[in-house]
Structure 1
Amino acid sequence: MQRQLRLAQRGRSWIHALTSGRTGIAPWAHYPARDAIDASGCWQFYFHSHPAVALDHVRDPREQGHVHLFRRGPDGTLSHLTGLSLDERGAPLQWFAPNLWVTGGRWLRTGTAARLLRAPDLRLRGPLAGVALWLTDLLCLYRQPLLQMLRQRDAAIERHCAEQGLTPRQARTDRRIALWQSTPIEWPRDAVAAIEGSPRFC
């Protein structure tokens, strides 16, 4: 929360940081242009936005754009961990779990995600260093809600397979489904609740 407050005091937001202060955000363009890869080479992320007509009904209508966060394999193969919606002020709105065809790469199993979320540590130098620390803070704070979302994602896939007669692999390429699950963020209320020991964050 303190990182966001410091940015606000300077009249900036996380979107400003992610886009290097650009006044116009081109739909579908990645910010930064070649994505951000942390110093360990294990994490990769970018910010982008969709045209209004492309917004899925599951996504918050206040969204200005969102961050896609990936785990990088030793060979550079990406596995999508989560999406993070931001409003026009750069405040987080919700986490979301898109279908595999949306992001490409390899499917990240919930058990693997649980291990990654035990001690996430994104480190960057330069103008995106603060963004990496902020994302690390959010992943740590929302570890339990994120894992619950991914379990709900898995349950939604299982139901879809049963209803449609599909295998999990087929479900993950079913273009009728863009998003499997999402979980809301109430910022800064969630940060206060975590400090007060809310069971949601324990």
Structure 2
Amino acid sequence: MSAAAQRVDTGRAAHGALARQLRLARQGRSMLFPFIGRSRRFEIWAHYPRHDAVDSSGRWQFYFHVHDRAEKDSARHPQEHGHIHLFRRSPQGKLTHFAGLALDARGLPLCWFATNQWVTGERWADAASLVRELAHFELRLRGPLSGAGLWLGDMVRFYATPLRQMLEQRDAALERHCRRHDQTRAQAWADRRVAVWSSLPVNWPQDALSAAGPLTQ
């Protein structure tokens, strides 16, 4: 993709994500609503939706959940209410963690993050394999989470370049940890001292407003 085409795609992604949040805001709702608004009872650690969301291609899977606030976790953003885990999905249903997106209590994004393998029990993939997915990323779903899927897809495309850098930093941090602690990759993946290898703070919605131009919806 040329630099000009990438700028156009980034602008469209920013506009799409902002417009979806604006439509919800006009209804007095946030981006948390598609995930938990219809739940009769909200539970810590539970997946929302209950059996995760899988896009129509079967290649992507995601869910929202909230950790116990009493749990000490220095890797979590201090304003985080909960986060979305996004996975690449193999034809056999094996999951590879692509990125997490932390949201505050208003449903506004705070940061992206790349977890260690033990956090989700994923099938690990190197950054080079994952970043190839960024160029034409999209999430298509049917039902009540279709809008949330389109919003999350816009978020991934908008932050595609810094997400690539975050994933590359994840791999570099893993290698440094292995050398420093004389561990194999498998040992480092299971090391519970490390929950997050790298993260990407975001300034939302200011980041998008600077790229999207005026909203007309």
Do the two structures share a fold, i.e. TM-score over 0.5?
Answer: yes
155, 170, 186: which one aligns with 1:153: 170
CA contact (8 A) 1:25 1:49 kept: no
1:141 to 138, 142, 158: 158
Q: CA–CA distance in 2 between the matches of 1:146 and 1:22?
A: 31
Counterpart residue number, 1:92: 109
CA deviation vs aligned residue, 1:92-151 (integer Å, no higher than 9, x gap): 110011100001120121111111111111100110000000011000000011111111
Of 87, 110, 130 in structure 2, the residue corresponding to residue 70 of structure 1 is 87
> Could you say what the CA RMSD is over the residues aligned between the two structures, in angstroms?
1.4
Q: Indicate the structure whose relative CO is greater, using CA pairs within 8 Å and at least 6 residues apart.
A: 2
Counterpart CA distance in 1 for 2:57 and 2:37 is 23
2:191 alignment counterpart: 174
> What residue ranges of structure 1 are gaps of 5+ in the alignment?
197-202
Q: C-alpha separation between the residues in 2 aligned to 1:23 and 1:10?
A: 20
Partner of 2:8 in structure 1? none
Length-normalised TM-score, structure 1: 0.93
Q: Does 1:119 align with 2:122?
A: no
For residues 1-202 of structure 1, the aligned pairs below 5 Å read: 1-22=18-39, 25-195=42-212
Secondary structure at the aligned position of 1:180 is classed as strand
Structure 1 residue 52, shift from structure 2 partner: 1.0
Secondary structure at 2:70 match in 1: helix
Cα shift at 1:23: 7.1
Unaligned residue ranges in structure 2 (runs of 5+): 1-17
In the aligned structure 1, how far is the partner of 2:102 from the partner of 2:112? 6
Q: After TM superposition, give the deviation of residue 25 of structure 1 in Å.
A: 2.9
TM norm structure 2? 0.86
Q: CA deviation at 1:195?
A: 4.1
